[in-house]
Amino acid sequence: MTYKEIDERINHYQEELEWSVMILKNAIKNENYNKELDVIEILGYEKARVEFFSFVTAAYIDLLCTYRNLKRSKTDWEKFYNLRIAYLTIYETINTYFKFKGEIYKSVNIENKKTYKRFFEMLNEELYEFKEEFQYDKIMPKIRNKSSAHYDKNFLEYYSSFEILKKYESKDIIRSFLYFLNPLHYFSFSLVEGNVDEFLFLNSWLS
């Protein structure tokens, strides 16, 4: 992607995020019945699905911003800094995705469960390949715990992440994760609308 394309995507997804946040914030308190009459219910949206879409969109924007900054990095330490942010964002995105997944699948009606199960299986397969390639269980938590989310007291532990990121082709991690995040973003938006087009879902892998 060019810088212009990245900026256009960021602006577009920010508009989407502001739309979903507006829906989440506009709850109406009805004192007579002592319960919330949610704008989400009035518009026919399910809150969990809107929250899921908001999370995916925010993660997408964060990664695009990091990707743009990484492309502009001129020194090794700049690259290290932006890669640490990328690893942290991706690691937490994966964890949060699994927290949402079960709840979202339960919200699907019986008629669509078989179709949506197949979509989730495709997403999970893409995610599995990513986790294997970038050593989600070994390398990613080390970078996250020792240098991204914290400054390790043992500085050599902290600095070891710098050496890891120099060793691996880590610059590809964002592009690789977008192969998962792009269809997930389409899927999460379509869930809010209540209709996932199978052709568009498959096409989102190519976008």
Give the per-residue pLDDT at 18.
Answer: 93
Cα–Cα distance between 173 and 86 in angstroms, integer?
8
pLDDT digits (tens, 9 = 90+) for 11-63: 999 999 999 888 887 755 544 544 555 555 545 567 888 899 999 999 999 99
Percent of the chain predicted with pLDDT > 70: 82
Per-position DSSP letters for 36-53, written without gaps between them: EEEHHHHHT--HHHHHHH
Stated as kind and residue range, the H or E segment containing 133 is: helix 110-133
Digits of tens for pLDDT over the chain (207 positions)? 788 999 999 999 999 999 988 888 775 554 454 455 555 554 556 788 889 999 999 999 999 999 999 889 898 888 888 888 999 999 999 999 999 988 887 777 777 777 778 888 888 999 999 999 888 888 888 888 877 777 778 888 878 888 777 766 555 888 899 989 988 998 888 888 777 666 666 666 555
Contacts with 15 (C-beta within 8 Å, 6 or more apart), sequence order: none
Residue type, position 22, single letter? M
Q: For residue range 6-24, what is the model confidence (pLDDT) as tens digits?
A: 999 999 999 999 998 888 8
Q: What is the pLDDT of residue 101?
A: 85
- Give pTM, 2 decimals: 0.84
Q: Whole-angstrom Cα distance, residue 190 to residue 196?
A: 5
Per-residue pLDDT at 127:
93
pLDDT of residue 25: 79
